[in-house]
Copies of this chain bind each other. A is one copy, B any other.
Amino acid sequence: MRNLKDLTYGIVGLGIMGGSIAKAIRENILCQSGSTGKIYVCNRSTSCLTQALNEGIADKAFTSNEYEKMLPECDFVYVCLYPHATIDFLEQNKKFFKSGAIVTDISGVKGIFEKSLPEILRPDVDFIIGHPMAGGEKEGYVNSTAKMFINHNYILCPLPENKAENLEIMRNFISEIGFTRITETTCDIHDYKIGFTSQLCHVIACSLVDSAKDEQITAFGGGSFEDLTRIAMINAPLWTELFISNKEKLVGHIENFENQINKFKNAIKNEDKDSLMKLMEESREKRIKMGSIRTVAKK
């Protein structure tokens, strides 16, 4: 099996995610003794490329006109672009991938990949569908960090055509860069569950901020409002794409949530103490069963 420390990695898109992946590879994989591996990076704007070279994170940097130079050399390509940009990138650069390369991406919706992959990739290139469950409300390479993934979850959606050896390389890679829990499932289940844990939460956080009458409200904050709205500092173009790509599932989740909040509202309106107690006892018990989830400290 190919050894992670000797692969040439290609990072396409050097924002907060691409940057963090590059830094985590440098710090956890290429630092191993005898490593012959390399990190190649490319990005549309070039200031982060210079920075990554200066910091010793990248061995070579390419602009977005130079994919044909970079891709043929990469054993493992990590596409860190928006979802539709990722599909466009795969389609437009199909012929440049190295034969036998592993290709993966970071996109938060997966169904669209399962549908398009057969048409847009060569059979000798192994695209492994997955989703690193990490990120931050701050964007760009300047906010990337090698520690981004420690104690986080990763979702893999293996396809029948993925090679067993490549899946094993992928799992090792994910663990090496810091993730502690890998869940394997289908694209459909991924999109359903992420629609709930991530997309619905972002819709709620934004709606809550939008419904604030008063920006000075924070003198009255005790922690709850802050916790619920941290993620409202949202990247609008990215999340517009994610929400619309997962429309049916997300709208279903919003409707379930609306039904629940409506139960609360009615119980409060009617001063129905028994129903309120029951609703809150259920949520307390359910939330405790869900466990502590992640133990990672906030950045």
Contact = CB atoms under 8 A, between A and B. Distances in A.
Nearest to A250: B268
B284 A211 contact: no
A211 B290 CA distance: 13
Interface string A216-230: 011111111111111
A247 B231 contact: no
Interface string A189-219: 0100110111011111111111111110111
A153 B250 CA distance: 36
Contacts of A7: none
Interface string A168-206: 000000000000010100000010011011101111111
Interface residues of A, number: 92
A293 B197 contact: no
Nearest to A224: B201
A19 to B, nearest CB: 18
A128 to B, nearest CB: 18
A243 interface: yes
A280 interface: yes
Interface in A225-258: 225-234, 236-237, 239-240, 243-244, 247, 250-251, 253-258
B212 A196 contact: yes
Residue of A135, A233, A289, A290 with most chain B CB atoms under a 10 A cut-off: A290
A113 interface: no
A247 to B, nearest CB: 6
A197 to B, nearest CB: 4
Given A209-B290, A240-B277, A251-B268, 11 more contacts: A197-B224, A198-B224, A207-B264, A210-B282, A213-B256, A218-B291, A223-B294, A229-B287, A234-B284, A239-B280, A243-B268
30 contacts: A133-B221, A152-B223, A153-B219, A190-B220, A197-B218, A203-B264, A204-B204, A206-B283, A207-B261, A207-B283, A210-B260, A210-B279, A210-B283, A210-B286, A211-B253, A215-B290, A217-B290, A218-B290, A225-B293, A226-B294, A234-B280, A239-B280, A240-B276, A244-B268, A244-B271, A244-B273, A247-B268, A251-B265, A254-B268, A258-B265
